[in-house]
Structure 1
Amino acid sequence: MTKTILVTGGTGYIGSWVVKELLEKGYRVRVPVRSFNRKDKYLHLQNLPNSTNLLELFEADLLIHGAFDKAAEGADAIIHMASPFTLRFKDPQRDLVDPAVKGTRNVLGAASKSSTVKRVVLTSSVAAVHGDNIDMVEQRLSEFTEENYNTTSSLKHQPYSFSKVQAEREAWRINAEQSKWELVVINPALVLGPSLAGNSNSESLQIMKDLISGKYRFGAPDLYFGFVDVRDVAKAHVLALENPSVSGRFIIAERVANFMELVAIINNKFPGQFKLPKMVAPKWLLYFVSPLFGLSPRFVARNVGYRIAFNTSRSRHELGLGYTPFEHTVVDMVNQFKKN
């Protein structure tokens, strides 16, 4: 019998790749959209192979209590990905924390009411593992693992990261109060790679746009991130869905690199084609210009110049995830920008 999977956030940057992967494997996929009138938000899903017989769209608002109850009934599992990823917001509680936490509560509540859902795969982030890069130094760690939780973010400092750890903790709390479904959490690093959703407003796409459009041409901050291919993140969700023996959290990252290492890959593959930074911006200068980039002096102090490391052995050995080399991810993403 064909299994049915409810995918929240299925129209988004990562979610679209998850839906593609599921449809190709022959799953029935239910995807909520905010409004059928905004066809530009979901048309790309209807153009995917197998979508005609296996894709079902329905209207639902993440923040309306009970909006997912009907879609969860009859579904074998839920992949909950819907959560805002933006660094441009006015009110962090309203724009980040409420949608992340209330949305999680609503979707997992639907799982608990359903008589059929046996597994929930939740998209969290390495932002729920650590807040600032300096956390690794302050906690005397040689690397971050799934045992670590972000304890340094707040509504006033790193509110996006705060929203991710609040939502994930809420998911584990709800999971502990019931015995119908199992929870697996995916904690991806910064996701890059090509987009299936033409009009996605994901921060991942914005970061690459800023880099190749010349925003940092006078100097890039010495900021280190974990990076991972969007297609690998989608695969990780499907592996977590299909393997009944896996549980807990999974950090998903191919490598850690800073902006200049990313620039070197672009320069190597696309020489002279973009206004890329030629040097690392000195940290003292960043204190003065950080407001232009929406960064606080505290963010600069606690993140710039601090290397980080992630232990990804669980994703490789337990999930069985093979990673796309970062160079391929970057080239595919830049090629798509060029084509568009």
Structure 2
Amino acid sequence: MRAQTKIPPPSRQRPPFRTNGERGESYKKPPKRTPVSTSDLTFTNRIRDKHTPIMSTGAGKTVCVTGASGYIASWLVKLLLSRGYIVRASVRDPNDPRKTEHLRALDGASERLQLFKANLLEEGSFDSVVQGCDGVFHTASPFYHDVQDPQRVVLTSSIAAVAYNGKPRTPEVVLDETWFSNPDFCRETKLWYVVSKTLAEDAAWKLAKEKGMDMVTINPAMVIGPLLQPTLNTSAAAVLSIMKGRAKDNGIHALERFLSHQEMNINKMTSVYLEWNSVFDLASHI
């Protein structure tokens, strides 16, 4: 099992409490908040502070609201329609009247509301929804309260979360569970994929410790083996490029930046090594 990362979480500090006497003469009481009826809930009818700028019209602009059937999101759709925006609203089931009837009944919905089926748990389902939008209001988030907590978690991470910390990786160096990539080093060298993998695993370990979960991580490098999907993954594309004599035209070329920061020369293939893992070995953790 991987040891918990040493990266400290960002600290959040509360501002010091001040008494009424410490506020000074420049302090002004905030304006009272006036209740507004639902029938008057538009930007033009709101009682606004004189210093608050009026939003420009949204006529001709297209925005996306994810999770549009939700409480806050529904009001957001209503206000956007009232300002003239074309609204692309994503819901999990557009044919469920319980989720969409109230949206279809909004003023302007028949002309400027477009409903899309999308689910956060389905990768790529939002691609067509947000394409061409001027802005996105991301309110969707799965909220389940009746599920059983997992007893064990196996996280498929990456060697990217392990090996990139600026330390030399000579043949006698052994990478073990004490190794973690350094986000600061990776930011300096613009290894953004490595940063994302490192921070993701770090967050997982913190959550596992907080919740008392039994978690194990798998950190593969280049994965090879038979393909089940019809498309090439990164590792398979690299192997195919080597077989075709075009190592620098595809997968291996994409690794040049990684290797260069480990004191390797991509132009001298004899000095370059990559870690290879069998897909069968990785899948056998079940």
Q: Same fold (TM over 0.5)?
A: no
* Length-normalised TM-score, structure 2: 0.39
Indicate the structure with greater helix content: 1
Larger radius of gyration between Structure 1 and Structure 2: 2
* Length-normalised TM-score, structure 1: 0.34
User: Which has the higher relative contact order, 1 or 2, with Cα contacts under 8 A spaced 6 or more apart?
Assistant: 1
